[in-house]
């Protein structure tokens, strides 16, 4: 149980285009999903917290107009990188909290490798 | 505020040797503590977690960790390393004042020599 999927697993796009990444909780309901960014050989950097039916909460320094997050249902959150540039190339990982969990445990997706050319 | 410090960005052990990955935390509220493992180009997998109760926590793949409040530590151990244990390991802390956020340490890369 507690499986989180991400789609796509990798994507290459041209500079200036937008890319959408989906995060789904497959076998549980998630009121809260998180989006992280990870650079090579580094830890995860929290970008934003996504709550179902409300606006996402962005961490300091993260451009909310560039990284659009939508949490339309209890099983789906999307991250759209708008007007992507090479510096947006990174590994993006989502996680989800089980609605029924009280331990703050997060279940992670497999990640999406974004390369902007 | 909460924070996590992992001592040693890289640890190398021989196959069959003891694995010890160190994690110290800072928290103003009772912490929930986690160890995750990440294999290359993959997401994170939960190894074990401490919430309340027994301070020695057993996880998957033979790993365990002990919560020591007096030392603010949550070190990860495994008696005998296997080649498949080579990966990146992250310690994380959360608590009820963070809205469910996980605060991660810098990570420790574990190498296992044959």
Name which of B42, B94, B106 is nearest A111 (Cβ-Cβ).
Answer: B42
A88 within 8 A of A114, measured Cβ to Cβ: yes
Residue in chain B closest to A57 (alpha carbons) equals B99
Chain A residues with CB under 8 Å of B36 CB are: 108
> Which residues have CB under 8 Å from B114's CB, separation 6+?
B14, B15, B83
- CA B72 to mean position of chain CA atoms: 13
Name which of B96, B102, B109 is nearest A106 (Cβ-Cβ).
Answer: B102
Give pLDDT tens digits for A70-109. 988 889 999 999 999 999 999 999 999 887 777 778 899 9
Chain B CB within 8 Å of residue A77 CB: no
Query: The tokens 């999903």 sit on which residue?
Result: A33
B91 within 8 A of B105, measured Cβ to Cβ: yes
Average pLDDT (B50-78) is 95
Give pLDDT tens digits for B9-43. 999 999 999 999 999 999 888 889 999 999 988 88
Regarding predicted confidence, which is higher, B82 or B101? B82
Residue A60 to residues A54, A56, A57, A80, B106: CA-CA distances in angstroms? 19, 13, 10, 18, 19
pLDDT of residue B97 exceeding 70: no
Which pLDDT belongs to residue A1? Answer: 67
Phi, psi of A88 (to 5 degrees): -85, -10
3-state secondary structure of A6: strand
Residue in chain B closest to A59 (alpha carbons) equals B101
Chain B CB within 8 Å of residue A91 CB: yes
Strand-pairing partners, residue B91, are B35
Name which of A32, A93, A105 is nearest B34 (Cβ-Cβ).
Answer: A105
- CA B45 to mean position of chain CA atoms: 11
Chain B CB within 8 Å of residue A104 CB: yes
A31 within 8 A of A50, measured Cβ to Cβ: no
Which pLDDT belongs to residue B29? Answer: 81
Give pLDDT tens digits for A2-33. 899 999 999 999 999 999 999 999 988 888 89
Name which of B32, B34, B107 is nearest A43 (Cβ-Cβ).
Answer: B107
The verdict on a CB contact (< 8 Å) between A108 and B36 is: yes
Q: Other C-beta atoms within 10 Å of B101: how many?
A: 20
Chain B residues with CB under 8 Å of A6 CB are: 43
Which pLDDT belongs to residue A41? Answer: 85
B14 within 8 A of B75, measured Cβ to Cβ: no
């Amino acid at each position: 149980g507690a499986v989180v999927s991400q789609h796509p697993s990798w994507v290459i796009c041209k500079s200036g285009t937008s890319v959408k990444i989906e995060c789904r909780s497959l076998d549980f309901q998630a009121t809260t999903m998180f989006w992280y960014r990870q650079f090579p050989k580094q830890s995860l950097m929290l970008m934003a917290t996504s709550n179902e039916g409300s606006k996402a909460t962005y961490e300091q320094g993260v451009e909310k107009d560039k990284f659009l997050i939508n949490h339309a249902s209890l099983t789906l959150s999307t991250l759209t990188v708008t007007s992507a540039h090479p510096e947006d190339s990174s590994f993006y990982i989502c996680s989800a909290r089980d609605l029924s969990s009280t331990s703050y445990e997060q279940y992670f997706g497999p990640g999406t490798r974004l390369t902007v050319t | 505020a909460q924070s996590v410090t992992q001592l040693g960005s890289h640890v190398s052990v021989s196959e069959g040797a003891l694995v010890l990955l160190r994690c110290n935390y800072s928290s103003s509220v009772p912490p929930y503590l986690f160890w995750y493992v990440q294999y290359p180009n993959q997401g994170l997998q939960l190894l074990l977690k401490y919430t309340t109760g027994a301070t020695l926590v057993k996880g998957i793949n033979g790993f365990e960790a002990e919560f020591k409040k007096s030392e603010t530590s949550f070190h990860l151990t495994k008696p005998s390393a296997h080649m498949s244990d080579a990966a990146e390991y992250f310690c994380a802390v959360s608590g009820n004042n963070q809205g469910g956020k996980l605060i991660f340490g810098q990570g420790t890369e574990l190498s296992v020599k044959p």
